[in-house]
Amino acid sequence: MLHLQQRIAASAASAIPFAEFMEQALYHPDYGYYTAERTRIGKRGDFFTSSSVHSGFGRLIARQVEQMWQILGQGPFVIAEPGAGEGHLCLDILDALAQESPELYAQLEYRIIEISQDNRQRQRQTLETHFQAGRVAWCELEDLQGMQGCIISNELIDAFPVHLIEKHAEGLREVYVVNGENGFTEELRPVSSHLIAQYFQQIGIEPALGNRCEVNLAAADWMRRVATTLGRGFVLTIDYGYLAEELYAPYRHAGTLLCYYQHQTNENPYQRVGFQDITAHVDFTTLQSIGRQCGLDVLYFGQQYQFLLGLGFLEMLMEMESRETDPQKALALRMNLKTLILPEGGMGETFKVLIQGKDVAAPELLCARRIQDITMPSRPF
């Protein structure tokens, strides 16, 4: 907190845009929420991710990855995952491929892009077997220029720093953070970048008068970098968010900014700075638009429950239940897995899945299967 107060005091305007405040709170090399040593995910942390709920999430994604590999000709294949957390999704995908698709596993390079040394240590422990097998390594995104394969991000973009914007009679105003007598406080000032107005022009929507919203310029930059890096293949993005029309709807008066601490949410990013997560819902319209400008075709966009059902969620659930002899454990398994697809109190509708492709034509992806076309197994696997 002190370093942020000093940063604000040293700035020319004695204020910094909220996006800069959020970046420092989350990613400062020593004090940032995602970079300092702490438990963030799971019961002892601040939130759950889909991959921390059950390994079946990664197992289903592995099925889609295997089809992508087949579409690309079954040659050498790279999976790149930025912001891989403690490595659970990577572990579940690699475990599934090693068991169910050994030919792909033998040709696979799984590359993690990670800025947090704390996370790297956790990933090393989680993925020790696959490190020893030579399947996993760390790198920078730029090291993967021209890669053939799939870039996967799971709950990454929601934690990019966002600009807080309000619409007033005199136009767009931006939230700046200043030092107050009792801590951080806000002031509205002219927007810090012409790119903010340009952002709304591109999506053809502006916030309603009096509304506050978030603008994630970093997400657009990220999509450009990803599209430029990928030689041929796919981009798989999983996150909570909406299309722009819903994200900036007039009824959404206060935007979507939320903080997470010990599995409780709040709307005050100025408390527990560096010790709580700060997120905002993703604008999937902009991700798709920027992707198209950079050569990425939209192959699939849907809710997480649709995505998982298409990949065989129900079949997997039946298979796992058939192997569990303890009725209580079978019930716990069912409830755990259902969290991934339930609309209320679960992740099924809140999370969206976007798959974009580069130089892959228009394949019929496994995840796009209609529910009515899915044949349930007549016996356990």
Token reading at 295: 């050569």
Would you say residue 338 lies in a domain?
Answer: no
Q: How many CA atoms lie within 13 A of 16 on its CB side?
A: 21
Would you say residue 21 lies in a domain?
Answer: yes
Would you say residue 257 lies in a domain?
Answer: yes
Nearest-angstrom CA–CA distance, 131 and 140: 17
Longest dimension (CA), the chain: 70
Residue keyed to tokens 């994630």: 216
Would you say residue 15 lies in a domain?
Answer: yes
Would you say residue 373 lies in a domain?
Answer: no
Is residue 360 within 8 A of residue 230, CB to CB? The reply is no
CATH number of the domain enclosing 297? 3.40.50.12710
Residue keyed to tokens 């394949």: 363
Would you say residue 321 lies in a domain?
Answer: no
pTM of this prediction? 0.92
pLDDT in tens, the chain (381 residues): 678 888 888 888 889 999 999 999 999 998 899 988 877 767 776 566 666 666 888 999 999 999 999 999 999 999 999 999 999 999 999 999 999 999 999 999 999 999 999 999 999 999 999 999 999 999 999 999 999 999 999 999 999 999 999 999 999 999 999 998 888 999 999 999 999 999 999 999 999 999 999 999 999 999 999 999 999 999 999 999 999 999 999 999 999 999 999 889 999 999 999 899 999 999 999 999 999 999 999 999 999 989 998 998 888 777 776 676 667 766 676 666 667 777 665 665 789 999 999 999 999 999 998 776 766 655 443
Would you say residue 329 lies in a domain?
Answer: no
* Owning domain of residue 107: 2-312+349-364
DSSP per-residue codes, 307-352: HHHHTTHHHHHHHHHHH---HHHHHHHHHHHHTTT-SSSSSTTTEE
Q: In the chain, how many domains are there?
A: 1
Nearest-angstrom CA–CA distance, 83 and 156: 6
Would you say residue 7 lies in a domain?
Answer: yes
